[in-house]
Each structure stands twice: as structure tokens, then as C-alpha cells.
Structure 1
Amino acid sequence: MATIGADRSLAQVSIFSHNLPLVRRLEAVGFRAWPAASVQYDGSWQVRLTAGHPSNRLNSIVPLDPSDHRDVEIRLEKARRKFEAYGRAAVVRQTPLASPVLIELLRAQNWTRFDDTVVMTCDLAEAELPDTLDHLPTHDVGRFVDANLAVDRAPLRLKPALAEIISAIKPPSGLFMIENAADGPLATVLCVQDNDLAGIMSLSVSEARRREGLGTEILTSALRWARMRSARSAWLQVKLSNRPAIALYERLGFRDAYHYCYWQQEPR
């Protein structure tokens, strides 16, 4: 049974932080799987901004070296101003690669922590995938974006930005959908294969059709596709509050790799 809540809080980060090479690799493939429109570096900090889409993964300050805390207060203010120029509140992504000095500064400045998330991985060679109906990926980005927005009930104004993000993904990608003539789109998932790693992105199931096995069906289709293309491991990111999704992923063999969260400061 999955452990949720306080038992899986960010206090657990320390038990995963010893495997920093894995964290660095998964962060790097995550950046390629969900590319921001603008990426700038300040030392080892990556400042990611995307004007047309609200995703925190596309709009955050991402520290990539626990020992990089030189002039931390000055650099944080400089990054905050870049977000301000975009009309956004500054957001910091805390992974095991973030300096404790930076995190203490965020606390001292009354930044708010939110969206505790776990990154999970699965050995595809060992995974026993359920025998479900297979779905082939589409290459029609526009059709996939329409389906994803419909399933998520997201604003149509996000379509141009989402289409641009997906079109900018450089590694081979599989766009999977389940739909029927009567109900339209029911489930979507994006699988990005980066060499031997397969990233699972944007897994969504229509709210009215949950608990019917559609999530398992479309996810196993994506994992089989990745395994046939010689991917050896799969990874994904899921909020700790999403208990049904975590339970599904654990049934398929996914296990915790590391945790992260975001910190936000409201615009001045």
C-alpha cells in the first residue's frame, strides 16, 4: 500500500540525495522532455521562462548544484526581476540539487512552499505490464493537443503554447490518445524517449471516465511502445497528493527516485 502525506514528505529527500548522478540525469531529460521557451544560466542555476504557458516546470529557477550558493541573495533577486519582467511571480524548484543555503534564504524571506512531488522510475525489463488493448501513437500534434486540453478541461487559449512546447521536443515522442465517436477524447499521454530513458508526461483521464482502467490502458501502451524502442527505464513526476495515480504507478513497478517541491514569492 502506498504511503502518502507526512510519511512521504520532503523530509524524505535526504534518503534519496545520495544518488545525485541519477537526480542530475533525470532533471536533464526532464528539461528536454518539456522544453521552456527561454533558458538562461546564472552559475549552475537554470532560469526557465515560457510566456504562453503557466506550467511551473516551464517557469522556475532550478538550482543544479548543492554547493552553488555564492552571492545567493543577489542572484535570487536578479532572477526574481526576470520573472517580474514576464509579469510572473518568481518560483524556485527545490530538488536534492538545491543548496541548503538557498532554501534557508527562501524561508527567511517568507517564500511559500507548494506542490510536493515525487519523481518515480521503473525498470522496463522487469515491469509486468497488464494485458490491455494497445494504442498506436499519433504524429498529429494539433489533434493530440486538442484531446489533451479537452480531457483536462483546460482553457483553449493554451493551445498555441502547448503545441509549440510539444513541437519543440527533440527526442522521439509518442502521442497517445483514447477517444470514441460518442464521447470524444477520454485519455491522453505523452511518452518521450531519450536514449534508454522514457519519460511519461501529461497522463490525463476524463473525470467522468476514471476508475474504468483507461489510465492503465493508455499508460501500458506508452510503456510497451518505449520498451519496443529499446528504452530500459521509464520515469514520471506526480504530485504527492495524487493518491490514485501513485497507486497505479506502483502497481506497474514504479518506485520513488527523489522528491521535489516549488517555492513562490508573490509579486511585489
Structure 2
Amino acid sequence: MQNRIHNPNLPAVRRLEAVGFRAWPAASVQYDGSWQVRLTAGHPSKRLNCVVPLDPSDYRDIDIRTEKAARRFEAYGRALLFRETPLAPPQLIDFLRRHGWERFEEVIVMTADLSTIEMPDTMHHLPSHDVGRFVDASLKVDAADPALKPALAEIVSSIKPPSGLFSIEEPQTGPVAAALCVQDNDLAGIMSLAVAADRQRQGLGVEILSSALRWARTRGARTAWLQVTAANEPALALYARLGFGEVYRYAYWRRNKPE
């Protein structure tokens, strides 16, 4: 069952989508009308490999444009994904539903006012400028494939707005938490935040998030934003305690595999 707030603020959605594209840049970005086609050969991130419709009134030739996008994705060795935000035309969503596409992974986009947010008194960590070290830490904390290092390093290096690369490392175990904060004028996006599986629920998430938000606030950011899957209840509880509130939701659509 779809669960989203009623009448989302579309100008706010457009702005957060725009800063999100800059904060997590795809290697290839093309447009078909107002549909943004994002592809990145070296990294499987769904945000980097999807079609994002950006105008509710742009729903002409849906079937032709969908097949055109599918061929482009196939050339990259990827299955076509659509990302549904409040900017997606309802006619497109009806088309996908009628043709048996599957909606999955609902994500909540949240914001917080950095002038009023109350951050706990935790240890303060300064950001690093060492992309390689941050990528190593991020992959280890996420238990991700080390082979993704070149692609992830390229993505992080290609972020144009100022970025804060945060990690918490311990002498015996190495990295135990990592976070990436991107400051785009008055907006600060938490693009990734992870804590090692065996160190969760020990305050490390709050510690590294607070460090990132303090860094962004001292640089003039007034609003923080982040994305979290709707099923991640511990993270949602943490963000709510810090004062984050929902602005809108998005989800992905994929073709159902034939039986």
C-alpha cells in the first residue's frame, strides 16, 4: 500500500531533487523531454541508474519513450528503472501498473531546520579531504564489495558542491562509521550514513551525523536534508528525535521478470 503525505510542496520537491542530482552525480545524464535518464556504468546505485520524470504534465508517447529508455539501459547492461516522485505524471504510473511493473523500495525525504535542531553533546569529528580513505571506510562499514572502490571514488570526486567526508575509526577494528555531507548553498544533504553492523545502537550514528550537521551549519547551511528507506525504523526514529520531518516520498518501478 502506497503511503505518502498529501499535497506535497512541489517547489520544495523540485529543489530537493535538483540538489540531490548535484550531490550524487551520475556519469551520464540525458533528457527525453522532462524525463531525466541517469546512467553510471561502474556503480549499481539505483539513484545513479534510473529514469526520473520531472514534470507531471509530460506524459506524451509513454510507450515509445519507455522502450527507448529500456534500450539505452540495456546498452549499459542494466535493467530499466523508473523513480517515482510527486513530479511523476500519474498517467505514467498508471501505464507502469497496467503493464505489470512492480513498485518497490519506498524512500522518505526529510528535512530539518539547522537553526533550531538540538544536537546531542557528542565527540566532534572533522571532515577529511582524503577521498580514497573515506571510500575505503565507507565500503568496509557497509560490508560492500571492495571492487566498487574505483567507481565510488569517481562519484565522490565528481561532486561539485563542497563535501564533508566523515569517518570514525578505532585502532583495533578500523572504520566503524562513515558519512558524506554535501553542502549546496543553504542546503546540506546527508548522502550516506552507515555504522558497522556489530557497532549499531551504540551512539555512533548520532555522533557522526551530529559532526556532519555541525560542519554544514558553520559553513552557512540552514536546512539539512536526507533520504531514508521507509522500512528503516531505527533510522527514522533517530532522525525524528533530531527534528527531521517528512517532505515527500519516492519509490522505484521495475519490470516484473517473466515466470
Both structures adopt the same fold (TM-score exceeding 0.5): yes
* Runs of 4+ with deviation above 6 angstroms: none
Equivalent residue for 2:197, pick from 204, 207, 212: 207
C-alpha distance in 2 between matches for 1:64 and 1:218? 33
Q: 1:249-264 maps to which residues of 2 (within 5 A)?
A: 249-264=239-254
Give the match for residue 4 of structure 1: none
Give the match for residue 107 of structure 1: 97
Give the match for residue 10 of structure 1: 2
- Distance change (3 Å), C-alpha of 1:115 and 1:50: same
Give the match for residue 158 of structure 2: 168
- Which letter maps to 1:55? S
Q: Does the residue aligned with 1:119 lie in a helix, a strand or coil?
A: strand
Contact 1:89/1:267, CA 8 A, preserved across alignment: no
CA-based RMSD: 1.1
Q: 1:188-267 maps to which residues of 2 (within 5 A)?
A: 188-265=178-255
String of CA shifts for 1:181-214, please: whole Å, max 9, x gaps. Answer: 1010000000000000000011000000011000
C-alpha distance in 2 between matches for 1:205 and 1:235? 19
Q: 1:85-124 maps to which residues of 2 (within 5 A)?
A: 85-124=75-114
- Which letter maps to 2:250? Y
Q: Does the residue aligned with 2:3 lie in a helix, a strand or coil?
A: helix
Equivalent residue for 1:54, pick from 44, 48, 57: 44
C-alpha distance in 1 between matches for 2:174 and 2:198? 12
Unpaired runs of 5+ residues, structure 1, are 1-8
TM-superposed CA distance for 1:80, in Å, is 1.0
C-alpha distance in 2 between matches for 1:35 and 1:122? 23
Give the match for residue 128 of structure 1: 118
Contact 2:100/2:256, CA 8 A, preserved across alignment: no
Q: TM-score if structure 1 supplies the norm length?
A: 0.94
Give the match for residue 77 of structure 1: 67
Contact 1:16/1:258, CA 8 A, preserved across alignment: no
Unpaired runs of 5+ residues, structure 2, are none
Q: Does the residue aligned with 1:138 lie in a helix, a strand or coil?
A: coil
Q: TM-score if structure 2 supplies the norm length?
A: 0.98
TM-superposed CA distance for 1:266, in Å, is 5.4
Aligned length: 258
